[in-house]
Amino acid sequence: MAVNRDTSSFFRLVFFLVALIIIAASTWFSNDLGKELAAEEQKKIELWAEAIRLLAQEPQPGEEDVRFDYTLTLKVIEGNTNIPVILTDGDNNVQSYANLNLSKKHPEADLEKKAAHLIQKNRHIQVKLDENTYQYVYYDDSDLLKKLRYFPFVQLGVMFVFLAVTLVSLTVFKRSEQNRVWVGLSKETAHQLGTPISSLLAWAELLKLKDIDPALLAEMEKDTQRLRTIAERFSKIGSRPDAEYHALAPVVENAVNYLRGRSSQKVIFRTHFPKEELPVLLNIPLFEWVVENLCKNSIDAMNGEGQIDIVAAEVKKQVLIDICDSGKGIPKKHFKAIFRPGFTTKARGWGLGLSLVKRIIEEYHKGKIFVKSSDPGKGTCIRIVLRKALKS
């Protein structure tokens, strides 16, 4: 089996990259704003420290009578209403503090703890009172700045969640839309086939009364019944078809025999089943459709010449069916893409066959289907996993 690049993945990648650019730009802006606010707070603390120095400064000899207005200095000190700060002496004994939000029950212990924390962070400004006397202003970020520092991470998380929800919503919407198309197309196809099939059956009965080779009539009836089977398959899409207990081998053999009679003699079909019966819950028309679709894809990948092996086995109450060919193979990056609607390598293909196969196996038979292995130039092996049924 061979595949082409799925162009829809390109648009998905572009969407994802644009979203990342928006997230990165928004995060950068928030970080830049945080840095500006941090610089402003540092300037504010430096001004606060200078006000403390002026307020505590002793008058120089001869200047005792000089009147100095401390109103502006006090306003600067009182103007700090949001930056946690402590003033200590040279031995780190707390002289004053502001905006620490101390506990009402144990304020002294809380002050000691928070002061130790600020001193340990060592963000301080030295206040020189005279040649031998120093005080220190230790400070921390305001609550607003702390929130702004965490905001980019919160924003990043919210945006990623929004992006994920958007992608999931688009996927669900697209799948729902595809399902409606599937159902409408299938029902209409079944309806359109119904009238000519009934007419062909009537003509077959009429031709039996004529002098016509019975072998030709038998082949005509087979093909008419085949059309009826196809119409039945399409009619089941979109509904919940009943699955019944069946032995796997006869169902697969019937589908293979139909293909064997209508394929080139250069295509060799081989089936491998254990001696013990493999009971599974199947809807025969739909499951035969799966086998036929996979085998036809294999024939196309082999250019009408090669070998197809169908191997079935039971492993841990599961029935494994491997359909392997000697075709062109599939690149590993396309293992999942081949089951998407519209993914095809055929010039006139619709890319619906394998997506329909996946739907039949996973939704109607509650199984799994995936590419087990594939080597370019050597072939591909697709595995179907079904639950073993207990015979009632």
Number of domains in the chain: 3
Q: Are residues 249 and 338 in the same domain?
A: yes
Q: Are residues 134 and 163 in the same domain?
A: no
* Residue 55 counted as domain residue: yes
CATH code at position 305: 3.30.565.10
* Residue 128 counted as domain residue: yes
* Residue 224 counted as domain residue: no
Query: Which residues are within 8 A (CB) of 332 and not within 5 positions of it... i.e. 6 or more apart?
Result: 374
* Residue 229 counted as domain residue: no
**Residue 67 binned pLDDT confidence (cut-offs 50, 70, 90):** very low
* Residue 226 counted as domain residue: no
**Residue 2 binned pLDDT confidence (cut-offs 50, 70, 90):** very low
Encode pLDDT of 202-249 as tens digits. 777 778 777 777 877 787 777 787 787 777 767 766 666 677 888 999
Beta strands in the chain (DSSP E): 85-88, 94-98, 124-128, 134-139, 244-247, 267-272, 279-282, 306-315, 318-325, 368-375, 379-387
At residue 96, does pLDDT exceed 90? no
The mean per-residue pLDDT over the stretch 101-123 comes to 84
* Residue 231 counted as domain residue: no
Where is the domain boundary, 202, 217, 232?
A: 217
Residue 256: how many CB atoms within 10 A of its CB? 20
**Residue 3 binned pLDDT confidence (cut-offs 50, 70, 90):** very low
The mean per-residue pLDDT over the stretch 101-129 comes to 83
Percent of the chain with pLDDT over 70: 81
Q: Are residues 203 and 287 in the same domain?
A: no
**Least confidently predicted of 70-79, 148-157, 169-178, 216-225:** 70-79
Where is the domain boundary, 182, 217, 252?
A: 217
Q: Are residues 15 and 110 in the same domain?
A: yes
- Domain containing 57 equals 8-140
The mean per-residue pLDDT over the stretch 137-144 comes to 83
Quick one: pLDDT at residue 271? 95
Q: Are residues 250 and 366 in the same domain?
A: yes
Q: Are residues 17 and 127 in the same domain?
A: yes
Tell me whether strands 306-315 and 318-325 are parallel, antiparallel or unpaired.
antiparallel
Instruction: Please tell me the pTM assigned to this model.
Output: 0.50
At residue 193, does pLDDT exceed 70? yes
* Residue 227 counted as domain residue: no
Encode pLDDT of 346-382 as tens digits. 655 555 678 888 988 998 888 999 999 998 888 999 9
At residue 100, does pLDDT exceed 90? no
The mean per-residue pLDDT over the stretch 54-77 comes to 59
**Residue 66 binned pLDDT confidence (cut-offs 50, 70, 90):** very low
* Residue 62 counted as domain residue: yes
